[in-house]
Each structure stands twice: as C-alpha cells, then as structure tokens.
C-alpha cells in the first residue's frame, strides 16, 4: 500500500505543480516554491523543496531538504541557507498530524506560509526599529524646548545659586570701585614749568599782602571803637 500511495500522490502533485515539480528518481522529486510577499518590491524568493519517500511513507515522514534556486536573486529578508533549519522545524507538527495520509501538498503549503511570514516579520521588525529610532530622536529634540519641572528642591537650588551669583557680582563691583579710588589717590602730581611756579609765587605773595591789609583794617576798627 505504501508504494501505491506514493505513486498516487505523485500524480496528484504533477497536476497541482505542473511547472514546478521535477523528478529526480522514482521516489524523489523537487518542487519549486515561489513566495508571495505583499507590497514587496524585491524579486520573489524561490525555495526548492526536495522530497524523498522512505519505503514506509506515508506511515513514516518523508525525507526533506530545502535549498535556494541557483539563479535566484538573494532576498534581503530571507537567506535559505541560514533559515532552512528554522523553516523545516515549522513542519514537525504538520508531519505528526498527517502521518498515515499523503502530506506533501500540505507540507508545501505550510512551508510557503512559514517562509512568507518570516519575511513579513523581519520587514515589520525593521519598520518598528526605524519608528522607534525616529520617536527617540523626536523625544531628544523636544527636551530642548521643555524646562525642568519646578519643585521645592529645584526652586531652593536655583535660589541659592541666584543669590550666590548676585553676591559675587556685588563683591566684584565693590572691588572694582575701590581699585578705581585707589588709582585716583596715588595719581602722580602734575609737574609745573618754571614759569608756572613763578606765577604761582607772585599770586601767593599778592595773597599775603591782601591778608596783611585786612588785619590792619580790623585793628583800626577796634581802635575807633575804643575812642
């Protein structure tokens, strides 16, 4: 019964995948699987699933091998060589559920969906990472326009700093004022020329004579008063 089931399944698969299936031997063949990625501008990824029947198939799982098409353009979100183990593990549950019946079509469908979902998940992760980076940049930019929240602690800290700054400014201004006064007091006297000294001498002599006349006038007034 095993071999008859294998032949029957192979004929059915040939009608489903007329252009995608290639025989390797009587019990082994390869199916080309083209992925359909929504809104994907890249060349559709192509996987090659090699199926080989053991003698006990379908009561025993088929031997499966996954590879990339030699002429396929590498996809940025799927690397068959690196992802094949992960993708083939996705078939374990399907194989267990279908033991005893033809399962290759179901395995192809499950594998195709798993690969497409893997690509979508990776694309979504990139978009999410980009959005988070944009949001983080916006938050940093917005911090420039946000003041520090005012609390009792922040106000007291600001007040202490403000008063300290005002006191330092007052002290600095006072020191500058005293320095200016000191400069004014120790300024060197102006040196006079000989002519200026001579003129000042005459003026002083004239002042002395005026003072003597004033004394004489005062004495004369006192004498008149006594008479």
Do 100 and 58 contact (CB within 8 A), yes or no? yes
More confident residue, 93 or 200: 93
Token couple for 211: 């003072």
Q: pTM of the full predicted structure? A: 0.60
Q: What is the pLDDT of residues 1-45, one digit of tens each?
A: 578 999 999 999 999 999 999 999 999 999 999 999 888 788 889
Distance (Å, whole) CA 4 – CA 26: 12
- The DSSP 8-state label assigned to residue 75 in this structure reads B
Arithmetic mean of pLDDT over the chain: 83
| Residue partners of 155: CB distance under 8 A and separation at least 6 | none
Q: Give me the pLDDT at residue 144, please.
A: 72
Tell me the two tokens of residue 154.
């922040």
Contact 33, 112 (CB under 8 A): yes
Give 199-204 contacts, CB < 8 A, sequence gap 24+: none
């Amino acid at each position: 019964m095993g071999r008859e089931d294998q032949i029957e399944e192979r004929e059915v698969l040939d009608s489903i995948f007329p252009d995608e299936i290639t025989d390797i031997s009587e019990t082994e063949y390869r199916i080309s699987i083209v992925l359909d990625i929504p809104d994907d501008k890249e060349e559709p990824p192509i996987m090659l699933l090699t199926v080989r029947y053991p003698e006990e198939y379908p009561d025993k799982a088929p031997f499966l091998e996954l590879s990339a098409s030699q002429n396929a353009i590498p996809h940025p979100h799927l690397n068959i060589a690196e992802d094949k183990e992960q993708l083939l593990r996705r078939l374990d549950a399907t194989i267990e559920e279908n033991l005893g019946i033809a399962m290759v079509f179901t395995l192809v469908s499950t594998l195709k969906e798993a690969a497409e979902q893997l690509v979508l998940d990776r694309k979504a992760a990139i978009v999410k990472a980009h959005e988070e980076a944009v949001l983080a940049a916006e938050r940093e930019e917005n911090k420039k326009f946000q003041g520090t929240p005012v609390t009792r602690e922040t106000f007291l800290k600001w007040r202490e700093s403000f008063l300290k700054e005002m006191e330092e400014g007052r002290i600095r201004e006072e020191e500058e004022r005293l320095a200016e006064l000191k400069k004014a007091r120790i300024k060197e006297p102006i040196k006079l020329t000989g002519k200026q000294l001579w003129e000042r001498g005459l003026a002083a002599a004239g002042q002395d004579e005026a003072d003597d006349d004033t004394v004489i006038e005062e004495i004369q007034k006192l004498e008149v008063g006594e008479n």
